[in-house]
C-alpha cells in the first residue's frame, strides 16, 4: 500500500453551502406509498435533504461557499493560485468547471484550475492532490471545492436511490504553515466493481439516444429509471464496504503509527445511517467520535465529509486535532487520511 505523507500543510478554513430548498423525506411520497417510504427512511436514516432548484449547479454552491470562506478568512484573492473542483455533476462536459470558477471568483490568471471526476472518495483524493501540489513548491493558497447536485442523478421512481441523495457544495482553503503536523493518505481503486454504482448512458461509450432517455421498469418491484439515471447495487456496495473499509482504516492507522484513541474524530463518507452505524460498530469506534449529519442532508457524495465537518465539528476544532477521514464509493474508489488540524476556522452554513 502506497501512502503519501506531508508536514506543515493543512486546512486553514472550511465553509459549506446548501440549497434552501428542503425536502422532507417522509412527505416525498409522489411515487410510493407512505408505508414504503417510512420503512426506507427508517432504515437509511435520511429525514431531510436539500435539492438545488432548477438552474442552480453544484458549482454555484461551491462559489457561494468559497466567497463566504474568503471573506471570513480575510484572504486576498490574489494570494490564491490553485482551484480544484471535485464533482460528478459539472456545469458542462467542457470546459472544466474549475476554470469557470476561477473567473467567477475573480481569481488571477496565474491560477491553476482543474476538475477531478470522483464521487464519494473525492474529498480525500482531492485533499491529497492539493497537498501534493502545495508540497511541490510554488502554490501559496489553494481552494478545494467539492460540489454535487446528486438529486438530479437518480430517478425519483427507483426506491433504491430515490430517498438517499442530496445536494451541497463546500470550499476548503489549504496552505503551508509550520503549525500543521503530519498528515498521511492512502488511495485505492477497484474498477472490476465499476458497475455497482453507475450511469450507463450519456457519455461517449453509450451516447444519448431517444431510447436512453426513456424511463423503463427495471425490476420485479416496479422501480423505474432511464439509461441516464444513476443506479446502485446496494447489497454489493455494502458487501464491498464491510470487506474493504475496516481493513484499510486499520492499515492506515498502522502506517501512521496511531491507534484509535489518538484520533479525535473519524469522519466517514455519509453513505446511509445503517451502513455508517454498522461500520463504526464493526471497528468498535465510539459513537461520539463519528460525527454524522446524514439525517439532515442525506448522502452528498464527495461533499459529505467536509459537509459533516462543517455542520458537526464547528467550534470543536480549536487547537490541535487529528481527524481520520475515509471516503468510499462509486468506482469503486476509496481513500483514507489521517489529517492534522490546527485551529481550523469553520464558517457558518451558507443557505442559498
Partner 1 sequence: MNKVIEVLIEALEIENKEVNLSDNFKEYPEWDSLSRLSLIALMDEAFEIQIDDETFKKIDSVEKLIAEVELRMAK
Contact residues toward partner 1 (CB under 8 A) are 39-40, 43, 159-160, 221, 233-236, 238-239, 242-243, 274-275, 278, 282
Which positions ≥6 away from 66 have C-beta within 8 Å? 15, 101, 105, 143, 145, 171
Say which of 25, 146, 276, 299 is annotated catalytic: 299
Say which of 269, 272, 293, 344 is annotated catalytic: 269
Active site residue 269: yes
Which positions ≥6 away from 151 have C-beta within 8 Å? 23, 49, 51, 52, 165, 166, 167
Residue 273: CB minimum distance to partner 1, A: 11
Q: Which is nearer to partner 1, 244 or 312 (CB)?
A: 244
Q: Which is nearer to partner 1, 64 or 271 (CB)?
A: 271
Residue owning grid cell 455497482: 196
Active site residue 120: yes
Judge contact between 347 and 171, C-beta under 8 A: no
Active site residue 62: no
Count CA atoms closer than 13 A to 20's CA, side-chain side.
2
Residue 153: CB minimum distance to partner 1, A: 19
Say which of 15, 57, 62, 120 is annotated catalytic: 120
Q: Which is nearer to partner 1, 145 or 249 (CB)?
A: 249
Residue 236: CB minimum distance to partner 1, A: 5
Residue 157: CB minimum distance to partner 1, A: 15
Residue 44: CB minimum distance to partner 1, A: 9
Q: Which is nearer to partner 1, 223 or 301 (CB)?
A: 223
Q: Which is nearer to partner 1, 106 or 198 (CB)?
A: 198
Residue 221: CB minimum distance to partner 1, A: 8
Burial class (CB in 10 A: 0-12, 13-18, 19+), 210: exposed
Which positions ≥6 away from 28 have C-beta within 8 Å? 37, 156, 162, 163
Q: Which is nearer to partner 1, 238 or 322 (CB)?
A: 238
Cell digits for 346? 469553520
Q: What amino acid positions are annotated as catalytic residues?
A: 120, 269, 299
Amino acid at each position: 500500500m502506497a501512502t503519501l505523507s506531508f508536514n506543515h500543510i493543512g486546512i486553514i478554513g472550511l465553509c459549506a453551502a446548501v440549497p434552501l430548498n428542503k425536502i422532507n423525506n417522509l412527505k416525498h411520497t409522489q411515487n410510493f406509498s407512505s408505508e414504503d417510504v417510512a420503512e426506507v427512511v427508517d432504515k437509511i436514516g435520511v429525514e431531510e435533504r436539500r435539492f438545488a432548484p432548477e438552474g442552480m449547479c453544484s458549482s454555484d454552491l461551491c462559489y457561494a461557499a468559497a466567497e463566504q470562506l474568503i471573506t471570513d478568512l480575510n484572504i486576498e484573492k490574489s494570494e490564491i493560485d490553485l482551484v480544484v473542483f471535485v464533482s460528478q455533476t459539472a456545469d458542462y462536459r467542457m470546459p472544466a468547471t474549475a476554470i469557470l470558477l476561477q473567473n467567477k471568483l475573480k481569481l488571477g490568471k496565474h491560477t491553476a484550475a482543474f476538475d477531478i471526476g470522483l464521487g464519494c472518495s473525492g474529498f480525500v483524493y482531492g485533499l491529497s492532490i492539493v497537498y501534493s501540489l502545495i508540497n511541490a513548491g510554488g502554490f501559496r493558497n489553494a481552494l478545494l471545492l467539492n460540489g454535487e447536485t446528486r438529486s438530479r442523478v437518480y430517478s425519483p421512481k427507483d426506491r433504491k436511490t430515490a430517498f438517499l441523495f442530496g445536494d451541497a457544495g463546500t470550499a476548503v482553503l489549504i496552505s503551508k504553515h509550520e503549525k500543521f503536523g503530519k498528515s498521511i493518505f492512502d488511495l485505492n481503486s477497484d474498477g472490476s466493481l465499476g458497475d455497482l454504482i453507475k450511469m450507463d448512458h450519456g457519455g461517449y461509450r453509450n451516447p444519448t439516444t431517444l431510447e436512453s432517455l426513456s424511463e423503463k421498469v427495471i425490476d420485479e418491484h416496479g422501480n423505474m429509471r432511464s439509461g441516464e439515471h444513476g443506479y446502485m447495487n446496494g447489497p454489493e456496495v455494502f458487501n464491498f464496504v464491510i470487506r474493504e473499509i475496516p481493513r484499510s482504516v486499520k492499515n492506515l492507522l498502522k502506517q501512521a503509527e496511531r491507534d484509535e484513541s489518538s484520533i479525535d474524530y473519524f469522519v466517514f463518507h455519509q453513505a446511509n445511517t445503517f451502513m455508517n452505524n454498522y461500520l463504526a460498530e464493526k471497528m468498535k469506534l465510539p459513537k461520539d467520535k463519528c460525527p454524522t449529519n446524514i439525517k439532515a442532508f442525506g448522502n452528498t457524495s464527495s461533499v459529505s465529509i467536509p459537509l459533516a465537518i462543517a455542520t458537526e465539528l464547528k467550534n470543536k476544532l480549536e487547537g490541535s486535532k487529528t481527524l481520520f477521514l475515509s471516503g468510499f464509493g462509486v468506482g469503486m474508489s476509496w481513500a483514507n487520511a489521517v489529517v492534522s488540524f490546527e485551529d481550523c476556522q469553520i464558517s457558518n452554513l451558507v443557505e442559498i
